Amino acid sequence: MGSVASRLAAASIRDWDIHRGTAADAPSKATERFGSLAFNDSAQKARLPKEVYKALRRTIANGDRLEPSIADTVATAMKDWAVEHGATHYTHWFQPLTGITAEKHDSFLVPTPDGKAIAEFNGRELIQGEPDASSFPSGGTRSTFEARGYTAWDPTSPPWLLKSTNGVTLVIPSAFLSWTGDALDKKTPLLRSMEALSAQAVRILRLFGSDARRVITTCGAEQEYFLIDRNFYFSRPDLINAGRSLFGARPPKGQEMEDQYFGSIPERVLAFMMEVENELYRCGVPVKTRHNEVAPSQYEVAPIFENANVATDHQMMTMETLKRVAPKYGLACLLHEKPFAGVNGSGKHVNWSMSDEYGNNLLNPGETPHDNIQFLVFCAAVLRAVDKFQGLLRASIASAGNDHRLGANEAPPAIISVFLGEMLTDIFEQIEQGGAKSTKKGGVLDTGVSVLPMLPRDAGDRNRTSPFAFTGNKFEFRAVSANQNVALPNVALNVAVADALDHVATDLERAVASGKALEDAVRALLARLVKEHKRIIFNGNGYSAEWKVEAKRRGLLNRPDTPSALPELLKNEVLEAFERHRVLNARELRARYEVMLEAYNKTINVEGQLMVLLATRYILPAALAYQTALAQNVTAVKAARASNGAGKKTLMAMSKLLDAFRKRTDALQAALEHSSRSAEEHANHCRDVILPLMNALRDVGDAIEVQSPSDTWPLPTYREMLFIK
């Protein structure tokens, strides 16, 4: 790379121009493509004997155990279906604690004595796989001498076909456990937490006269991401290895013109999005919305919500598909929370609600929220959950990458609070004071333009600064990070809410048993809950400095970084709740803590090393060469007896910067060699010593970039990466 001309010549946007229009699929109806590569309900119905189909459906709907006798039939039908679509292999696809997914492929092929082969797949192979678990992080739950782990088919999430360049693989969503039954993955606690919440929610529904037997949590996760030209990506070791740029001066134009959000989507990007959507549709992932985001080259994709377990699998598929398809369009997809300093970072808004088996959304206020006391009970339970388990929720989204958003001055703040909106807050305040009628009804919003229809107004209005907002009929957990698996934040919410629902149900059951009318019992309970937990409600500006002061006064937690947030996972009340609701035992929970802490340390360590590498092997050589040229200029101009204020001044400035740059590189290098007694101590060292040194080094590096000739700068610049689309 090197010169600006060669950098630009290398941008693969040119290849894209040449190949434009050749990638499109043969036109067919999206409705026909949707789910065509998923072994979903309709494929199961079409392929399985009636009794087997019914048994499988019972397993899926009620969580009944799958009888081994039917597993063989299901396996054979699934294999036949997959083979007809060209599949040669199958894999148990699971979500270890690394944060990404894992897969080991096995062939269906079994050689026969006559030298031929047949495709085979039995129930045992479907239900259970046995990958060696020793290379996955376990946070100490399993030592290498008992390395066996096993993957268990999750029948509630439909298998799908992964089409790649030279073949097709049947992908079987699975849980991953140790031989002793400890959860080594993200799916197992998610499934357990949904069970836990269901059990408690059903108790409350029963009091309100419902005969529902199961409640599921629902999830719709909006994914933000960046796309940049792939050849720029390849010229940035920091993007390749750390996912974010560690040097890079801010471009003259960033996002200040506010001309990107919802702007028209560049042709190459739109082509990419359409292929991603097409792939996801075929696998049954209901992606719905696409648009430009706030920062240049930042975009968003959002699905229609689903059962939280399926939604979590589909979210992982979405991230994988984004990354896999991008190179076809000469692009690289960046899912890091903060790939570029100075413009917005990327988050993942996790929309969350609860639904009974009839599809009733338990957080839907209905026509007159005030009278809808069941809604208010569930809503108040969420308030209690978030207030009581602020620390858990905060810890569930803690990572080195997300610290750039939450701890810094952007996106949601690190303080967890709930935005309820004016009307609901008003209702809760009146309940607390024992009052009754609310005047602020969620009526109709007059658009003021007569050709436009009257828009119904959501009970929750908009607030972009809250980490946890009620948005009409669901909560939106906005502090979740772009890169992370959404399972843990879902688990945290489910456990917290299950715990609150347990509290609520016990209170109401007791009151009703003692002869109190339900309505009176609810009124008393709500008044108490509001009194106890209203400190968590905040409808104001979450970015403001006043909020930090106010939150402190209210006694809310402020954990601005990962090392201070993670210990919240180990608090007694968190552990107790996880154990009581049988979601994770102490060992399993501690494992999550250790893996997350370790990931933080490793991330900062890699970033620090990369900065030293970029400093010594890219920036310094280029800057020294420039310094030499400047010195030669000064000598030559002096010999010519011409005046040379500009040359001398530039040389002096550059020399000063270079001295500081070298010094700061050495300081960072030395800090990276630090050895710590414990992971906790090392995390503090990363936060308190390494990160500040990295920032200080970057400041000088970026100043050097601004002073350097553009055609010898060794790295693609922000201006190039963010604006060549």
Q: Print burial letters for 449-475: b (CB count within 10 Å at least 16), e (below 16).
A: eeeeeeeeebbbbebebbbbbbbbbbb
Cβ closest to Mg ion, residue 92 vs residue 349: 349
Instruction: Residue 474: name its binding partner from Mg ion, ligand ADP, none (Cβ under 5 to 8 Å by kind).
Output: ligand ADP
User: What is the nearest approach in angstroms of ligand ADP to the Cβ of residue 301?
Assistant: 10
> Which of Mg ion, ligand ADP, none sits in contact with 389, Cβ below 5 to 8 A by type?
none
* CA distance linking residue 232 with residue 215, whole number of Å: 48
Taking the C-alpha atoms of residue 673 and residue 676, their distance in angstroms, rounded to an integer, is 10
Given the DSSP bridges, would you call strands 87-94 and 167-178 parallel, antiparallel or unpaired?
parallel
Judged by CB under 6 A, which of 471, 484, 665, 717 binds ligand ADP? 471
- How many residues touch ligand ADP under the rule CB under 6 A: the total is 15
Our CB check for ligand ADP shows the closer of 222 and 720 to be 222
Contact with ligand ADP (CB under 6 A): which of 35, 149, 303, 542?
303
Residue-wise DSSP of 309-358 = HHHHHHHHHHHHHHHHHGGGGTEEEE--S-SSTTS---BEEEEEEEEETT
Instruction: Supply the DSSP string of 223-242, one letter for each residue.
Output: EEEEEEEHHHHHT-HHHHHH
State the binding partner of 299 from ligand ADP, Mg ion, none, CB within 5 to 8 A by kind.
Answer: none
Strand 128-129 and strand 117-119: pairing? unpaired
685 binds, among ligand ADP, Mg ion, none (CB under 5 to 8 A by kind): none
Q: What is the dihedral of CA 259, 261, 265, 270, to 10 degrees?
A: 150
Quick one: which segment of 57-65, 298-306, 531-539, 629-637 binds ligand ADP (CB under 6 A)?
298-306
Which string of x and - marks every residue 331-350 that binds Mg ion (by CB under 5 A)?
------------------x-
String of DSSP letters for 553-588: HHT-----SHHHHGGGGG-HHHHHHHHHTTS--HHH
**290 three-class SS:** strand
- The answer to whether residues 655 and 687 touch, using CB atoms and an 8 Å cutoff, is no
Residues 348-377 as x/- pattern, contact with Mg ion by CB under 5 A: -x----------------------------
Coil vs helix vs strand at 447: coil
Interacting partner of 187 out of ligand ADP, Mg ion, none (Cβ under 5 to 8 A depending on kind): none
Encoded one letter per residue, x for contact with Mg ion by CB under 5 A and - for no contact, window 489-528 reads ----------------------------------------
Give residue number: closest CB to ligand ADP. 220
Nearest 5°: CA angle at 440, between 436 and 443?
125
Task: Provide, rounded to whole angstroms, the least separation between the CB of residue 542 and ligand ADP.
Answer: 17
Rounded Cα–Cα distance for residues 119 and 87 (Å): 10
Question: Which CB sits closer to ligand ADP, 76 or 490?
Answer: 490
User: Which of Mg ion, ligand ADP, none sits in contact with 307, Cβ below 5 to 8 A by type?
Assistant: none
Binding region for ligand ADP (CB under 6 A) out of 151-159, 219-227, 603-611, 667-675: 219-227
* Residue 282 partner contact from ligand ADP, Mg ion, none using kind-dependent CB cut-offs of 5 to 8 Å: none
Helix, strand, coil percentages for the chain (3-state, nearest 5): 50, 15, 35
Q: Which of 161, 190, 283, 302 binds ligand ADP (CB under 6 A)?
A: 302
Q: How many CA atoms lie within 13 A of 566 on its CB side?
A: 25
- Identify residues 335-394 at the interface with ligand ADP (CB under 6 A): 351-353, 361
Which partner in ligand ADP, Mg ion, none is near 353 (CB below 5 to 8 A by kind)?
A: ligand ADP
* Structural contact between residues 336 and 245, judged by C-beta atoms closer than 8 angstroms: no
Q: How far is the CB of 431 from ligand ADP (least distance, A)?
A: 24
- When asked if residue 474 is in the footprint of Mg ion (CB under 5 A), the reply is no
Of 459 and 530, nearer to Mg ion (C-beta) is 459
CA distance 492 to 389: 8
Q: How many residues bind Mg ion (CB under 5 A)?
A: 1
CB atoms within 10 A of CB 420: 28
Q: Which is nearer to ligand ADP, 154 or 222 (CB)?
A: 222
Residues near Mg ion (CB under 5 A) are 349
Residues near ligand ADP (CB under 6 A) are 218-220, 222, 302-305, 351-353, 361, 471, 473-474
